[in-house]
Structure 1
Amino acid sequence: MGVYELAFTMRERVAGGAVVMELVGEIDILAEQTLGPRMEGVASRCRGELVLDLRAVTFLDASGVRLLLRVRARAARCGARLRVVRGGAMVSKVVRIAGVEAAFVWLEEFPPTVVGSVPA
């Protein structure tokens, strides 16, 4: 019997004063079911800046979009400010086609460049 490897993961870290959830791989129905509770938990504990980084997402479907919206709703209920780092062209296209682009505050990079900032 072979070992099954998940096609997705999530890394959580603190950067630039924000809690960052970095999604990696294929964000589909299995990812939504597996990562959803964990991501909502992070969003519910965050009271400040929360960044969802989609740069390493290679696939996003309707279930993945639903996951993004769930995290957005949880963050809003708990007082966190959610921003999303844009993914690649395919991810952006799915978000645009789903009609939810305006639901998020988008960043082109993270952490954003700040004039006068001091490197860590």
Structure 2
Amino acid sequence: MDTNHAGLAPCHTERVVGGTTVVEVHGEIDLCTAAPLSARLDTLTAGGRPDVVLDLRPVIFIDCSGLRMLCRTRNRVLARRGRLRLVAGGGCFPRILRAARLADVFEIHPDLPSALFGLVPRDEVSAAAG
């Protein structure tokens, strides 16, 4: 088993769009890579009323330490009266959140425009219509 995560470490890009910090995470979020990403998210959520969108569509793997990092970030944001949105797309990530019983804990959007511009998440539209 190869324990060298150098090529698999999640990298991320950050930008601010209309006052919202958008963090696009790439690669794997696991035991070896969640801590540095969590430290960066701690910095981004340190101020009052943080407004953060995590674009997780490019993430190819997440384990329980990655889910713990997401929950920690959510708790920090809520404690500071901010807002956290996840962009999960239609891949396996929404299924993972449902399996972990976290789907109702996060504000999940299918794409970046809906997360940034206040469009109603697709699941809420379906629930309201049905």
Unpaired segments of 5 or more residues in structure 1? 115-120
1:42-68, Cα deviation, whole Å (9 max, x unpaired): 122362531111111111111111110
Quick one: distance in 1 between partners of 2:102 and 2:28? Answer: 19
- The 5 Å alignment of 1:82-97 reads 82-97=84-99
Percent identical residues: 37
Q: 2:121 — aligned with what?
A: none
Cα distance change on mapping 1:98 and 1:104 into 2, 3 Å: same
Q: Which moved more, 1:99-108 or 1:4-13?
A: 4-13
1:18-54, Cα deviation, whole Å (9 max, x unpaired): 1111111101111211211111111223625311111
Higher relative contact order (CA 8 A, sep 6+): 1
Quick one: distance in 1 between partners of 2:90 and 2:33? Answer: 18
- The 5 Å alignment of 1:53-72 reads 53-72=55-74
Paired residues, number: 112
Q: 1:29 — aligned with what?
A: 31
* Residues 57 and 88 in structure 1, CA contact (< 8 A), matched pair in contact too: no
**Shift of the alpha carbon at 1:9?**
1.0
* Residues 34 and 69 in structure 2, CA contact (< 8 A), matched pair in contact too: yes
Query: RMSD of aligned C-alpha atoms?
Result: 2.1
Amino acid at match of 1:19: T
**Shift of the alpha carbon at 1:7?**
2.7
Query: TM-score normalised to the size of structure 1?
Result: 0.81
- The 5 Å alignment of 1:1-120 reads 4-45=6-47, 47-112=49-114
Query: Where in structure 1 do 4 or more consecutive aligned residues deviate above 4 Å?
Result: none
Query: TM-score normalised to the size of structure 2?
Result: 0.75
